[in-house]
């Protein structure tokens, strides 16, 4: 399976980087213990090395987003419920655990892993001062999404999507615009059950997307898809809370460089 091959593949950058840092720290501790503490030894640490040690990108989970949720929380919020067999999008097959009397059930282990990746990415973007846009077209969840964006101090577009917002923004807004650096889609379908325009437009404008893909959605164009239920209010509330917390975690750490 493509998904599992990719997981077992050579994406070990985070682990080895951490080991390099630990090796360096061990070496320094040895030197400290061998000779008596000298201020000169501490000054030997070059400024570039110091930046490398404290660079958030070197840590697998710098902001601690793994602690934000457990799989039981996903289960209680009914995230494992998909739609019926007939509406399954073939690209979603790797993420389905099975079908219970015609109702599709998501594999929450995979969902949890992909959710952690997405939250980590969100936190890093927030840390670097990026603009984050929450997008949803489901009228039932407009209030939830907009409140989450307000609490996070970021932006939301939970209404009807004008086709030219991204691709022709300077005409629509009558001036130079800065497009978002991350788009979080709480639902990748619009009320007409077609793919939301934001998915394609963000891919066109080279903006990374995080999207909750239900069993009837296509995850191919989304940078960090999260397979799960996007229709229950409980599920949407959970996602909004998690993304809001990830953004606030990212903003709480003081950045080393200012972009």
The two tokens of residue 143 are 């209030």
Work out whether 207 is an interface residue with another protein (CB under 8 A).
yes
Kind plus residue range of the DSSP H or E element containing 106:
strand 103-106
Is residue 164 at the binding interface for another protein, with CB under 8 A as the rule? no
The answer to whether residue 128 forms part of the interface with another protein (CB under 8 A) is yes
By CB under 8 A, tell whether 258 contacts another protein.
no
Which distant-in-sequence residues (6+ apart) come within 8 Å of 163 by Cβ? 197
- The region of 18-26, 67-75, 122-130, 141-149 touching another protein under the rule CB under 8 A is 122-130
As measured in angstroms, the least distance from the Cβ of 101 to another protein is 8
Q: Is 220 in the site for another protein (CB under 8 A)?
A: yes
Closest CA to 155 of 131, 175, 137: 131
Nearer to another protein, 94 or 153 (CB): 94
Cα gap 166→172, rounded to integer Å: 9
187-224: b or e for each residue (b if 16 or more CB lie within 10 Å)? Answer: bbbbeeeebbbbbebbbeeebbbbbbbbbbbbbeebbb
What letter would DSSP give residue 175? S
Q: Does 206 bind another protein (CB under 8 A)?
A: yes
Q: Output the CA torsion 17→21→23→25 (10° steps).
A: -170
Site string for another protein, 133-162 (x = CB under 8 A): ------------------------------
Q: Residue 256, interface with another protein (CB under 8 A)? A: no
At closest approach, how far in Å is the CB of 131 from another protein?
Answer: 9
Asked whether 134 and 155 are in contact (CB, 8 A), the reply is: yes
Q: State the residues that interact with another protein by CB under 8 A.
A: 1-3, 6-7, 11, 13-14, 57-58, 85, 88, 90-91, 93-94, 96-101, 104-105, 113-114, 117, 120-121, 124-125, 128-130, 167, 181-182, 200, 203-208, 219-225, 259
């Amino acid at each position: 399976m493509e998904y599992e091959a990719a997981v077992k593949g050579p994406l070990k950058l985070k682990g080895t980087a951490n080991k390099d840092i630990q090796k360096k720290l061990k070496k320094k501790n040895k030197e400290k213990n061998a000779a008596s503490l000298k201020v000169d030894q501490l000054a030997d640490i070059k400024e570039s090395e110091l930046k490398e040690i404290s660079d958030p990108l070197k840590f697998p989970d710098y902001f601690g987003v793994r602690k934000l949720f457990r799989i039981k929380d996903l289960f209680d919020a009914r995230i494992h419920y998909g739609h019926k067999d007939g509406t399954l999008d073939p690209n979603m097959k790797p993420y389905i655990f099975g079908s219970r009397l015609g109702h599709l059930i998501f594999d929450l282990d995979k969902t949890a892993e992909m959710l952690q990746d997405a939250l980590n990415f969100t936190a890093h973007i927030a840390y670097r001062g990026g603009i984050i846009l929450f997008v949803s077209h489901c009228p039932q969840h407009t209030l939830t999404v907009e409140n989450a964006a307000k609490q996070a101090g970021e932006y939301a577009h939970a209404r009807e999507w004008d086709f030219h917002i991204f691709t022709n923004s300077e005409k629509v807004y009558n001036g130079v615009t800065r497009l978002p650096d991350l788009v979080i889609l709480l639902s990748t379908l619009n009320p007409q059950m077609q793919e939301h325009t934001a998915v394609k437009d963000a891919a066109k404008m080279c903006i990374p997307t995080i999207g909750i893909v239900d069993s009837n959605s296509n995850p191919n164009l989304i940078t960090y898809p999260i397979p799960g239920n996007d229709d229950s209010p409980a599920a949407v509330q959970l996602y909004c809370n998690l993304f809001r917390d990830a953004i606030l975690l990212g903003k709480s750490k003081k950045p080393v460089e200012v972009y």
